[in-house]
Amino acid sequence: MSSMVGVAAARVRVGKRVDRDIREWTAFGGEDAEVVIALNPPTERAVLAGIDAAIAWSREWEGVEGVVWTTRQWPSAGSQRVPAHLVLGGADAITTFAGPSYVREWRRLDARGHALRETFGTGMPLASAIRTHARTILALETHDFDRLVHVVLWLIEHPASGWRVRQLPIRGVDTKWLGRHRAVVEALHAALTGRESLGLLAAPTLVRVRFLDPKLRPGGLGDVASPIDELAALDIRPGVVFVLENLETVLAMPELEGAVAVHGAGYGVAARLRNIPWMVASSLVYWGDLDSHGFRILHEFRSAFPEATSELMDESTLLEFRDLWVPEPDPARGELPTLTDAEQRTLQRVRAEGNARLEQERIPWVYALRRLQAAVRHD
């Protein structure tokens, strides 16, 4: 009797099918969806061995929509009508059988899928975006779904607006709203326009800079966080620019003649700084953590600034402060061809020591500052 499929087991199987396919139904409509489950009616021998269980199983399926019944002729048991298959056609019938929670989920998604298709039309790009973000669309509150539609419509009608999010004339939409829902907004917008950019003006990337030489300070400002294009417009000629991964190190730097300290802030440093002319024209000194990621960031930086040197990223510094090492939990892999021979040896030592990490801020300040000041005198 164990092979017979009961109603509860069938609901579980159908529920799994809904979980698997509901995004597809949302994208393309669920009218053509179908689920067929063989119910495995018992053999004559199984019926004779457990007649009560067979009768209970058969009665369990009476009145269930979608059951296909068949008649079996058995010499010992006579003619018996038994459920043979469960055939459910369309997402409505499938979710109804799966249970109330599936019905609620499907009706909400179906309504929203129809609304998106009615507003924006049909087509594979839109359907793919709906399918990918169906769970997000389902989770939206009603007012947020309405805002989503209005935002995408406005962005389509105003390509390259150059507006900030704060300026969008849609009630309830602000920077935080777009931040929470940006992925689905971008997906629908790209599907409908083919454009990756929303055409909105993003907040500028700010770079923290300290002008260590008072003569280089613009308007007397020694410590600024400024958009890159404004930094690029400064008419200054520093002798050396320190690019320091750790902000506390930037803030600790004393006045130094001809020097500027820039917060590198880890990965992406090259993209942030490569278009600042006075940096390109200066001697560049990079100091990052003594670990595999620190060297990968140095490699990235030097790919944009080939003449940059490093400081305090050598093997002697690494070994001098062995007692301050910590393990690096997720080391960077791969080759870093822009590293110098000395830097390569240090990286190899880091890896050979079990991916050690000597963080920049752990190196005693007196030791570090002496090395950095020497770099300025050398320049």
Domain boundaries, the chain: 7-99, 105-193, 206-378
pLDDT of amino acid 76: 62
Flag residues of the chain having pLDDT under 50.
Answer: 1
CATH no. of 206-378: 3.40.1360
pLDDT of amino acid 102: 97
pLDDT of amino acid 236: 95
0.75 exceeded by pTM:
no
203 in helix, strand or coil?
A: coil
pLDDT of amino acid 378: 61
Q: What is the DSSP letter of 329?
A: S
pLDDT of amino acid 281: 87
Contact criterion met (CB below 8 Å) for 64 and 88 = no
Contact criterion met (CB below 8 Å) for 252 and 365 = yes
pLDDT of amino acid 71: 86
Q: Which are the contacts of 212, defined by CB distance < 8 A and separation ≥ 6?
A: 222, 253, 254, 255, 256, 259, 260, 261
Contact criterion met (CB below 8 Å) for 217 and 211 = yes
Provide the token pair at 43: 């053999």
pLDDT of amino acid 77: 59
- Order of strands across the sheet that contains 206-211: 223-227, 206-211, 259-263, 240-244, 283-287, 309-310
pLDDT of amino acid 305: 94
Report the candidate in 179, 125, 105, 118 with the shortest Cα–Cα distance to residue 153: 118
pLDDT of amino acid 370: 94
